[in-house]
A and B are shown apart, each in its own frame.
Chain A
Amino acid sequence: MNRALGLTGLILALGGSLLAISVILTGLKRSRPELMRMGRAYSFVVLLGATMAVAAMERAFIQRDYTLKYVAEHGSSTTPALFNVASMWSALEGSILLWGLILAGYLVVVAHKFRKRLDDSLVAWALITMFSVCVFFFGLMLTAANPFRGNIPIPGFDGPGPNPLLQNHILMAFHPPMLYLGYVGFTVPFAFAIAALVTGRVGEGWLVETRRWTLFAWGFLTAGIILGAWWSYEVLGWGGYWGWDPVENASLLPWLTGTAYLHSVMVQERRGMLRVWNLSLLCATFSLTILGTFLTRSGVVASVHAFSAGSVGPILLGFFALVVAVSVGLIGLRGDQLRSAGHIDSPLSREGAFLANNVVFAALAFVVLLGTVFPLVIEATTGDTLSVGPPYFSRMTMPLGLTLLLLMAIAPVLPWRKASGELLRERLWWPAWTGLAAVLLAVLLGATGVAPLLAFGLGGFAAGSALRQIALATKRLGWRGFVGRANGGMVVHLGVIVIGVALAASMSFMSQGEFTLKEGETARVAGHTLQFLGSRTVDQPNRVELVARIKVDGEQVYEPKLNRYRQSGQTIPTPSVKASLRDDIMMSITTAPSESDPSLGLRVIVQPMVTWLWIGGLIMVIGTVLSLFPGRRRNPLDAVSAAAPIEQVSA
């Protein structure tokens, strides 16, 4: 029943997408607008199909329908309800199903939003692109990554449940959907970029249409990445929130190119420049989401998240190659129209700073991509095994990160076209003192090391600049000084700065220890005392928990656990964290007390400012929301210094 329902849904979605493409194409070719307008109806068919498939899968999980192979492999009668629902995206096929649902959702929203302009060739081509992406994903689900493969369970069979690590924390229910909302959301600007290239309407029209969509997707990707970091911090128990794991890198790559685009797009809007670059960034962002899926879902790299699966890899790689080939081909084809009339007058200008920002983001993306694929390339060519791990990424990204902080300090105060030294000295006066004060404060608090101090100083400098912009805007516009892209963007900057400072502090000033404690004994780390009071075991349906009671600093009692899962036999610790604005104390059990040895193995990690990472993430999301609201309308007669000819956009 579930299987039939799910397969029907997938076929409906695939068929709807294929039909939509042919109908819209026919409409375009024969100039019949009524055919082009049918795209909206077909988008609903695709969403209906995707919803049916997801509903069937969830129903199968809830009913523990082991006639589905996917449920038999990842479901279990003992999984708690919330994690049971989240089990759908705990492995390859189900996560592609989630991808399909979100894609169909975006498709419907686009078709609905542009319902009055469906006969406009730009919108038609954007829809064709989106339907084509749907064809790929629903096609994939009906072939190599079919979530509805059948299974004949033996009587009394019970599944193993999802990977124990994935049923350990509530964030598991939110992090993947958020991330996918971001990932998949980049399909929309990509579709419009392709449409602009196909129709030859490569002016600024398409770009203004997709501005909010990009920001929306970017906001979700940001939130998804930060929730992922939070999840690994809370669950993995080694005090880390970012391991430069290939899957984490795969989510960071489109974020980096997407962030670069959000900045460089302003240069195009204002001055009509960087057209090829912006199109390339969007195409790169979209293709990187596919490449990331390939890297992590095909089993070519080992990672906590990597679900290995047979023929999915080559198909994803093929689709990636197709996306890149089409993008590069179209950009080459429209090369003449993409040349812009404007030029950058001075590197010391707003557009110059955006350009520098783009160089740094591109460099970051390049380093992350290179580090992720380098071991594969070396192994394929020379047969040698080598690892490119966190030490490499930290060393390479640190100078780039500091450069970004410096740019964040200077760029917001720069005017368009050209700035004078005099103007900079005037506007950077207070921000510079803020930066210096931050360094002084850090030194007084006992911070050492040039790199973290530079991070604090540049963070203070950049925060000063952002606050100056917000202060000026609110003085001029009242509360509206917080909304709109420029002002919301400054709030996002503040969030980034908070995260940058928290990263520098937590990585540079971490202290840790491993202890063997008998009942009543006390361990000391970084000025904190931890007393082991005793332990007990708790039986849960899916696992046995060993709970230790640790009194921290003579006050509250914290309870780290060690869980043994009945089905898989795996032992997974659940750390306990005493979080505060100053520092976090993470306690994780390494060995449980036994009858032969009654002492507890305890790992303790003290890191300053970790909580500020999550606060910074929240500020970034708030800033993104503020940016989505319409800002102050610029008087159309104000000089915009646009040198490029204005493209005719049919309304």
Chain B
Amino acid sequence: MNKRHTQRQKWWWWSLMGVILVVLLASAAGTSPTEGNSDDRLFAIAAQIKCVQCVGESVAGSAAPIAIQFRSEIASQMKQGRTNDEILNFFADRYEGVLLTPPSTGVGSLVWVIPVIAIAGAALLLAESLRVRRSRGPVQQPSPEDEALVEVALEARHSEPSVTSTDTTDDS
């Protein structure tokens, strides 16, 4: 390993990378529009509402008359200075199941909770099974015959002109 390579092992280089990353992320943290009358905000809200007369489209995506009507309703409520949640609730109260985001309360919230529990559970089980297996140690010890075979094979390999690779552990 030459000198240039040892630089890569220095902890401060890696810390520096981390610091730069955090600074960059912090400096550019943005938010989606929650006030004002921009079309971007309008469509961001409309994208969370299902077009009730279409198939598989949101109010933002559809060209159906009802979607256009919904969008103008959103626009007028935005002008009245209502918040995103107020506008979404307005539609949710009038049409059942119109919000594309499932609710965070009640039985509907299960769709949020189940994956988190399932993924965490699976990860824990996996970690546990790995730990158990590792603690059991190697299953088989090579017999003297095995080692003799390896010996013969290695000799055969070394006697022929071999191709050396630059990064042998890297191949897959």
Contact = CB atoms under 8 A, between A and B. Distances in A.
A415 B169 contact: yes
Interface string B27-41: 111110000000110
A367 B115 contact: yes
B148 interface: no
A382 interface: yes
Interface in B94-143: 96-103, 107-108, 110-112, 114-115, 118-119, 122-123, 126, 130, 133-134, 136, 138-140
A359 B24 contact: no
B111 A389 contact: no
A386 B102 contact: yes
A560 to B, nearest CB: 12
A425 B99 contact: no
A511 interface: yes
Interface in B131-172: 133-134, 136, 138-140, 153-154, 156-157, 165-167, 169-172
B56 A304 contact: yes
Nearest to A423: B169
Contact of B58 (A246, A389, A453, A512): A389
A163 B134 CA distance: 58
Contact of A392 (B40, B102, B172): B102
A410 to B, nearest CB: 14
A425 B56 contact: no
B43 interface: yes
Contacts of A453: 24-25, 28
Range for the number of chain B residues in contact with chain A: 35 or more
B103 A341 contact: no
Contacts of A486: 171-172
Contact of A303 (B55, B96, B119): B55
A469 B68 CA distance: 51
12 contacts: A303-B56, A359-B119, A363-B115, A366-B115, A386-B97, A390-B100, A391-B101, A392-B101, A426-B1, A439-B24, A443-B28, A469-B170
B129 to A, nearest CB: 9
Nearest to A396: B115
Contacts of B100: 387-392
A54 interface: no
A384 B170 contact: no
B133 A573 contact: no
B107 A236 contact: no
A385 B28 CA distance: 39
Interface of B: 1, 5, 8-9, 14, 17, 20-21, 24-25, 27-31, 39-40, 43, 47-48, 50, 55-58, 60-63, 68, 71, 96-103, 107-108, 110-112, 114-115, 118-119, 122-123, 126, 130, 133-134, 136, 138-140, 153-154, 156-157, 165-167, 169-172
A388 B102 contact: yes
B63 A588 contact: yes
Contacts of B138: 643
Given A366-B118, A449-B28, A637-B153, A341 B140 contact: yes
Interface residues of A, number: 83
Given A387-B100, A389-B101, A443-B27, A637 B156 contact: yes
Contacts of A362: 122
Given A243-B61, A367-B115, 18 more contacts: A342-B139, A362-B122, A363-B119, A374-B110, A389-B50, A389-B101, A392-B111, A422-B9, A425-B14, A436-B17, A439-B25, A443-B28, A450-B29, A453-B28, A476-B165, A590-B68, A637-B154, A643-B139
A454 B108 CA distance: 30
B17 A382 contact: no
Centre residue among B103, B119, B136 by max chain A CB count within 10 A: B119
Contacts of B165: 476
B39 A514 contact: yes
Top 10 closest pairs, chain A to chain B, by CB: A389-B100, A448-B30, A385-B97, A238-B61, A429-B8, A343-B133, A415-B169, A513-B39, A486-B172, A391-B101
A240 B17 contact: no
Interface string A316-356: 00000000000000000000000001111101001000010
Contact of B57 (A243, A359, A590): A243
A343 B140 CA distance: 12
Contacts of B1: 426
A198 interface: no
A59 B12 CA distance: 72
A282 interface: no
Contacts of B24: 436, 439-440, 443, 453
A266 interface: yes
B5 A426 contact: yes
Contact of A448 (B28, B102, B103): B28
A586 B116 CA distance: 37
A240 B61 contact: yes
A144 interface: no
A629 interface: no
A184 B48 CA distance: 35
A486 B96 CA distance: 51
A517 B150 CA distance: 81
B57 A386 contact: no
Given A243-B61, A304-B55, A344 B139 contact: no
A457 interface: yes
Contacts of B17: 432-433, 436
Nearest to A472: B167
Given A345-B134, A436-B17, A374 B58 contact: no
B99 to A, nearest CB: 6
A447 B28 contact: yes
B112 to A, nearest CB: 8
B68 A476 contact: no
A413 interface: yes
Centre residue among A238, A345, A454 by max chain B CB count within 10 A: A238
A244 to B, nearest CB: 9
B103 A386 contact: yes
A184 B28 CA distance: 46
B134 A378 contact: no
A1 B100 CA distance: 49
Nearest to B50: A387
A415 B28 CA distance: 36
A94 interface: no
B52 to A, nearest CB: 10
Interface string A248-261: 00000000000000
A439 B21 contact: yes
A306 B56 CA distance: 10
Contacts of B169: 415-416
Centre residue among B134, B139, B170 by max chain A CB count within 10 A: B170
Centre residue among B96, B108, B166 by max chain A CB count within 10 A: B108
A475 interface: yes
Contacts of B154: 637
Given A341-B139, A392-B111, A448-B30, A511 B14 contact: no
Given A266-B172, A476-B166, A512-B43, A378 B107 contact: yes
A390 B5 CA distance: 46
B8 A371 contact: no
Given A243-B61, A436-B17, A588-B63, A363 B122 contact: yes
